[in-house]
Amino acid sequence: MNREMTSSFLLMTFAICKLIIAVGLNVGPSELLRIGAIDVDGHFTVHPSALASVSSDFGMLRSPEEPLAVLHPSSAEDVARLVRTAYGSATAFPVSARGHGHSINGQAAAGRNGVVVEMNHGVTGTPEPLVRPDEMYVDVWGGELWVDVLKKTLEYGLAPKSWTDYLYLTVGGTLSNAGISGQAFHHGPQISNVLELDVVTGKGEVMRCSEEENTRLFHGVLGGLGQFGIITRARISLEPAPQRVRWIRVLYSSFKVFTEDQEYLISMHGQLKFDYVEGFVIVDEGLVNNWRSSFFSPRNPVKISSVSSNGSVLYCLEITKNYHDSDSETVDQEVDILMKKLNFIPTSVFTTDLQYVDFLDRVHKAELKLRSKNLWEVPHPWLNLFVPKSRISDFDKGVFKGILGNKTSGPILIYPMNKDKWDERSSAVTPDEEVFYLVALLRSALKDGEETQKLEYLKDQNRRILEFCEQAKINVKQYLPHHATQEEWEAHFGDKWDRFRRLKAEFDPRHILATGQRIFQNPSLSLFPPLSSSASW
């Protein structure tokens, strides 16, 4: 059925279904949708291509499972109408918001009996970002891409403070996790930089929440994996946007020295500090391994291979200093002062200078390059872990120098963050130490690649890494978590589980929302069969 046919069919049947709802007949989701029961200003589609496009994700690890329909909302009220209908229907069918589908394990899926709300590709009517320069914030639609938030705020010389490495992610999608990058050590994750939200709860109510209003919902939704409501608007705090970025990479052969320098850098919060601190592990230099950046280009004066590492693993510290054109003289001095405190391999300094917007949007260039070689739409068995500082060197020995061997099939990021920049009241889960590291194994599986690049090999390696951490009692927490059983979810949330469960009972009592996370079973339908442990990762 094309869109026009769908619309007229919906109109024709609208009166009938209103009657059905009014008299409270017990109709299932498929009946409700077939007769177009829900009156929205946007539109529903059941077109096969639309169903197919929302049934897979960036991870490409699961067999696509098509939902009943896709809603393209044009307002929060459209989302609320759908959720109210789902909540009121006999079988309480699932409704999952989908941002840009960049999840790895089907987290934005709704299952065969559900409806996906396509937040990103809104039809006309979805609100544009609204910048308030006097108040230093921007109001954005939950499905807005961060790259568009950046473009809009830059028109006012402003920008959000905390980022992700990649900007083609949605505001609602990253705020449901945390949203982290090299600025998090100072500004905290993106969820620490939100002033207010509008949320459609699992009962279909549109609720405004903030530090002052509906506080429990506000903190619960941030990092809440979509469990308590669909974010339709977020108010994000802004700062004056820098114009340029000095981007520096230096190498280490000693993990100890590398992490000491990283930890030193994230302890600095005054005027004289780097603005972004990340790092990665270098095992070999293939395109797949270094897709995150074209930084080490052939034009670079120093080849990585010329830096002696005695054949072992190298570590790269990545730092930036933001500045305005008018400060271009002082930036050199500031960088010099800061660099003098670091203990990297002296011949290994790689520097570049670029516009702020080009730095923030750097991963998109890599995406285009990988797409041109058909290396983007491949399975991504990613594993993201928060590792406590006290055990990071055990992790290095056991994983980087142990389980991984000398092939990684993708970049491995490693950088520390300060726990006091995370609001404990949010639903995001981090290790119980003041400093913890993100370790992100961002792997791509290649069908025709070497054995070490095959999906099954990489999934098995992820399993071994998690097993190693468990045996060595390294209390890691998964970021962008994926767990197979209720017990694992309870262990993941730890002290926060009880609150998480209670918020679910209050704001999504029929377990309608974000069922693709597989945290709670839908009480009236067994939508997703429990995973066998071998199916995880």
> Which SS3 state, helix, strand or coil, does residue 323 take?
strand
Whether 305 and 285 have beta carbons less than 8 Å apart is answered as yes
* Interface residue with ligand FAD, options 360, 517, 522, 527 (CB under 6 A): 517
> What's the CA gap between 513 and 499, in Å, rounded?
17
> Which SS3 state, helix, strand or coil, does residue 379 take?
coil
Q: Is the dihedral of CA 289, 293, 294, 298 positive or negative?
A: negative
> What's the CA gap between 164 and 141, in Å, rounded?
18
Q: Give the residue carrying structure tokens 């109001």.
A: 139
Q: Tell me the residue type at 437.
A: Y
Please report whether residue 388 would count as binding ligand FAD according to CB under 6 A: no
CB of residue 12 to ligand FAD, shortest distance in Å: 31
Stretch that binds ligand FAD, among 165-173, 209-217, 235-243, 256-264 (CB under 6 A): 165-173
CB burial of 6-20 (b: ≥16 within 10 Å; e: otherwise) equals: beeebeeeeeebeeb
| Residue 34 vs 369, nearer CB to ligand FAD | 369
Stretch that binds ligand FAD, among 175-183, 321-329, 417-425, 503-511 (CB under 6 A): 175-183
> What's the CA gap between 217 and 124, in Å, rounded?
29
Q: Catalytic site residue 434?
A: no
Whether 229 and 507 have beta carbons less than 8 Å apart is answered as yes
| Residue 292 vs 335, nearer CB to ligand FAD | 292
| Residue 143 vs 388, nearer CB to ligand FAD | 143
Which one is catalytic: 72, 100, 102, 483? 102
> What's the CA gap between 98 and 120, in Å, rounded?
7
CB of residue 317 to ligand FAD, shortest distance in Å: 17
* Interface residue with ligand FAD, options 27, 61, 70, 100 (CB under 6 A): 100
Contact positions with ligand FAD (CB under 6 A) in 426-465: none
Stretch that binds ligand FAD, among 131-139, 148-156, 163-171, 455-463 (CB under 6 A): 163-171
CB burial of 504-525 (b: ≥16 within 10 Å; e: otherwise) equals: beebbebbbbbbbbbbbebeeb
> What's the CA gap between 404 and 401, in Å, rounded?
7
Q: How many residues bind ligand FAD (CB under 6 A)?
A: 36
Q: Tell me the residue type at 530.
A: P
Whether 164 and 102 have beta carbons less than 8 Å apart is answered as no
Please report whether residue 202 would count as binding ligand FAD according to CB under 6 A: no
* Interface residue with ligand FAD, options 98, 219, 321, 496 (CB under 6 A): 98
* Interface residue with ligand FAD, options 69, 86, 108, 469 (CB under 6 A): 108
- The two three-digit tokens of residue 142, written as one number: 């939950």
> What's the CA gap between 235 and 53, in Å, rounded?
29
CB of residue 508 to ligand FAD, shortest distance in Å: 11
| Residue 230 vs 435, nearer CB to ligand FAD | 230
Q: Is the dihedral of CA 517, 518, 520, 526 positive or negative?
A: positive
**How many CA atoms are closer than 13 Å to the CA of 266, on its beta-carbon side?**
30
> What's the CA gap between 517 and 421, in Å, rounded?
26
Query: For the window 206-245, what string marks contact with ligand FAD as x by the rule CB under 6 A?
Result: -------------------xx---xx--------------
Please report whether residue 97 would count as binding ligand FAD according to CB under 6 A: yes
CB of residue 437 to ligand FAD, shortest distance in Å: 14
| Residue 91 vs 107, nearer CB to ligand FAD | 107
Q: Catalytic site residue 456?
A: no
Q: Catalytic site residue 432?
A: no
CB burial of 26-65 (b: ≥16 within 10 Å; e: otherwise) equals: ebebeebbbbbbbebebbbbbbeebbebbbbbbbbbbeeb
* Interface residue with ligand FAD, options 32, 33, 58, 203 (CB under 6 A): 58
* Interface residue with ligand FAD, options 36, 67, 111, 173 (CB under 6 A): 173
Which one is catalytic: 165, 261, 275, 318? 165
The H or E element containing residue 12 is helix 3-23
CB of residue 328 to ligand FAD, shortest distance in Å: 28
* Interface residue with ligand FAD, options 176, 183, 262, 453 (CB under 6 A): 176
CB of residue 280 to ligand FAD, shortest distance in Å: 12
| Residue 35 vs 68, nearer CB to ligand FAD | 68
Residues that bind ligand FAD (CB under 6 A): 58, 96-103, 107-108, 119, 142-143, 164-166, 169-170, 172-174, 176-181, 225-226, 230-231, 480, 514, 516-517
- List residues with catalytic annotation: 102, 165, 278
